[in-house]
Amino acid sequence: MKARTSARLAWSLAFISTLLAFFSSILLVANGVTLRDVLFEGAAVGPQLALTFPIVGAIIASRHPGNPLGWIFCAIGLSQGTVQLTYDYSLHALVLQPGSLPGGDFMSWVSAWTWIPGFALLITFSLLLFPNGHLPSRRWRYVGWVAGGVTAILILLSAVTLWPFRGPAIVRGTDSLPGAQGALTLFDAGLMLLLVTAGLSLISLIVRYRRARGEERLQLRWFTFAALTLIAPVLVSTIDGVPEAVSNIGNLIGLLVAPGLPIAIGVAIMKYRLYDIDRIVNRTLVYAAVSALLVLVYIAGVGVFGGALRQVTGQEANSLAVAASTLAVAALFRPARARIQGFIDRRFYRRKYDASRTLEAFTDRLRAEVDLESLTGELLEAVHQTMQPAHVSLWLRDGEGRTQPV
């Protein structure tokens, strides 16, 4: 396929996914989804992924048509956009306002199985083929064959089994389909096998990272950082017993960082400013730790100081406690950030920390050193310790404008 044809096809798929995301968003509003549902219940994550995955996929496919990850991302976007639109359509046509839209039964059936290909591609082949579009080695092809075969079986089984039950029952959930329980049990077994292949795909990514060097390792860091950033708030929001406020914050963070996974993968594959990943990870660790510490200080300050004032004055003094805690948090921000930054540099970025300390020590000696030979030796030693080059030499310009080694 020619590059121009590939680009046109990829952007056409992205445009179709964009339309699906747009119309599903309109249906969300028509179905009564509120701003709170969007921010704290994850109602907009589906259209969001249907928009970001195919756009990133189109960029990759148009620039690197030989890398299957671009086409996989386009397929994930189409799958997500289709299932989102058909589910919202059937919900509106069959449950919320029965008979208001035609074809609700068919749309409910389509929504019951179109999520499978996108889900399977995301948890298996996107891991197996990242970042260069090739398997880590030939032996991993068996995982790909099993994943592809199981995905095809799950799609066929779902489509055939649920066709007679198309209608409101599918929208309400497959648990209300007693006549399909045998097939659904077989479906659950196949889904578990697909999750096993997903685990093996994750292992392949770990194996690839252990073997990777240089640029490929930086690409894998981008993927790992984005995945962990997305998984952490999702886990927080799904743990039983978590306070509603914490769960809402987790869902809000998940909404904000969900597009980060396809975008980070696109950045890694396009090799755009790969070296920024270390700076991004560093800043994320620092500000996440600082934010958690300051939130704890604020909560403790409001509780302890407010309780003390209540015991002394015999009445509520919430506004005073909040003001005092806010001032304490503002005063602690800079020293806390400096301390945490130093700890993270020492613990996770030791080479950078040692290089910084070496340069600081050299700067201090430079102020008092006047002997050129001693200064030359210390300069070469500082360069060797910080940059670790294979060879170091110093050239100076003489009075006639010529340079010569020292």
Question: What's the start-to-end Cα distance of the chain, in Å?
Answer: 58
Strand partners, 396: 404
**Could you give the C-alpha distances from 49 to 56, 118, 130, 245, 328, in angstroms and in order?**
11, 11, 19, 25, 40
Q: Is the distance from CB of 228 to CB of 22 less than 8 angstroms?
A: no
| Structure confidence at residue 83 (pLDDT) | 93
Helix (H, G, I), strand (E, B) or coil at 194: helix
Per-residue pLDDT tens digits of the chain, which is 406 residues long:
667 788 889 889 999 999 999 999 899 888 888 888 887 777 788 888 888 999 989 988 888 888 899 999 999 999 999 999 999 999 999 988 888 889 999 999 999 899 999 999 999 999 999 888 889 888 899 999 999 999 999 999 999 988 888 888 888 775 656 666 677 778 889 999 999 999 999 999 889 888 888 778 878 887 887 777 777 776 666 666 666 766 777 777 777 777 878 888 887 777 765 555 566 666 666 666 777 777 777 777 766 766 666 666 655 556 666 677 777 777 777 887 777 777 766 665 555 555 566 666 666 666 665 555 666 666 666 666 655 666 666 666 666 655 555 5
| Structure confidence at residue 166 (pLDDT) | 85
CA distance 404 to 59: 50
- Please list, in sequence order, all residues whose beta carbon lies within 8 angstroms of the beta carbon of residue 51, skipping any fewer than 6 positions away: 17, 18, 21, 77
Q: Which residue has the tokens 């030359």?
A: 376
| Structure confidence at residue 29 (pLDDT) | 87
| Helices marked H in 239-369 | 244-257, 260-270, 276-313, 318-348, 350-368
| Structure confidence at residue 272 (pLDDT) | 60
Phi, psi of 403 (to 5 degrees): -105, 145
Containing H/E element for 168? helix 168-172
CA angle centred on 144, ends 142 and 150, rounded to 5° = 100
- Please list, in sequence order, all residues whose beta carbon lies within 8 angstroms of the beta carbon of residue 184, skipping any fewer than 6 positions away: 161, 174, 177
93 residue type, one letter? A
Strand partners, 405: 395
Q: Which of 148, 153, 146 is nearest to 68 (CA)?
A: 148
